[in-house]
Amino acid sequence: MYRINLNFLYFSALIFITILFRLYNINYEDFWIDEIISFYVSDPSISFNEFVQRHKTLENSPFLFNFFLRIYFDIFGYDTSIARYLPATFNIFSVFLLVYFYKEIFKGRSVIFLFILLAFNIYIIKYSQELRLYSWYLLIFVINIFYFYKTVNYKKFETKINKYFFFISSIFLILTHPFSLIIVFCYSLFFIYLFFKEEKIPFDLILILGLINIFSIVFIISFISHTTHQPIWIESIDLKFFTNFFFSKFFGSRIIGGIYLIVIFFLIYKFLKDILYEKNLEFFLLLVAFFSYLIPIIYSYIFNPAVVDRYLIYLVLLFILLLTILIDKIQTPNRRVLLSIFLIFCTIGNFSTETTFKQFLNENRIHKPDLKSTLFKIKNSNNFEVTLNLENTYLSKNEISNAFQNYIRKYKKITNLQINYFNYKNKTIYEKQFWIICLNDLNGNDCSIPKKFSNYKVIEEESFNNINVKLIENSS
Q: Of 63, 65, 83, 64, nearest to 73 (Cα)?
A: 83
Average pLDDT of the residues in 282-304? 94
pLDDT of residue 167 exceeding 60, the answer is yes
* pLDDT value, residue 159: 75
More confident residue, 373 or 276: 373
Average pLDDT of the residues in 361-383? 88
pLDDT of residue 277 exceeding 80, the answer is no
pLDDT of residue 87 exceeding 50, the answer is yes
pLDDT of residue 13 exceeding 70, the answer is yes
* pLDDT value, residue 251: 96
pTM surpassing 0.75? yes
More confident residue, 53 or 366: 53
Tell me the pLDDT of the chain averaged across its residues.
91
More confident residue, 199 or 128: 128
Least confident of 82-86, 170-174, 224-228: 224-228
Is the separation of the CB atoms in 320 and 122 below 8 Å? no
* pLDDT value, residue 394: 84
Average pLDDT of the residues in 152-159? 73
pLDDT of residue 156 exceeding 80, the answer is no
* pLDDT value, residue 279: 67
More confident residue, 134 or 191: 134
pLDDT of residue 158 exceeding 70, the answer is no
Containing 23, the helix (H) or strand (E) segment is: helix 2-23
* pLDDT value, residue 215: 95
Least confident of 18-22, 104-108, 176-180: 104-108
Average pLDDT of the residues in 272-279? 79
Q: What are the C-alpha distances in Å from 401 to residues 58, 389, 406, 425, 442?
A: 11, 9, 9, 9, 11
pLDDT of residue 1 exceeding 60, the answer is no
In tens, the pLDDT along 398-433 reads: 999 999 999 999 998 988 888 999 999 988 888 899
* pLDDT value, residue 228: 63
* pLDDT value, residue 357: 85
Residues of the chain with pLDDT > 90, as a percent, come to 70
Average pLDDT of the residues in 163-172? 95
Average pLDDT of the residues in 5-10? 83
* pLDDT value, residue 364: 77
Q: Residues 78, 230, 317, 165: is their CA dihedral positive or negative?
A: positive
Q: How many residues does the chain have?
A: 476
Query: Which residues are CB-neighbours of 436 under 8 A, at least 6 positions away?
Result: 386, 387, 388, 389, 449, 450, 453, 469, 470, 472
pLDDT of residue 298 exceeding 50, the answer is yes
Q: Which strands form 433-439's sheet, in the order they lie side by side?
A: 420-421, 385-388, 433-439, 467-474, 456-464
* pLDDT value, residue 33: 94
pLDDT of residue 393 exceeding 50, the answer is yes
Average pLDDT of the residues in 252-256? 94
60-62-64 Cα angle (round to 5): 135
When pLDDT is cut at 50, 70 and 90, the band that residue 294 belongs to is: very high
* pLDDT value, residue 3: 53
Average pLDDT of the residues in 114-124? 97
More confident residue, 415 or 166: 166
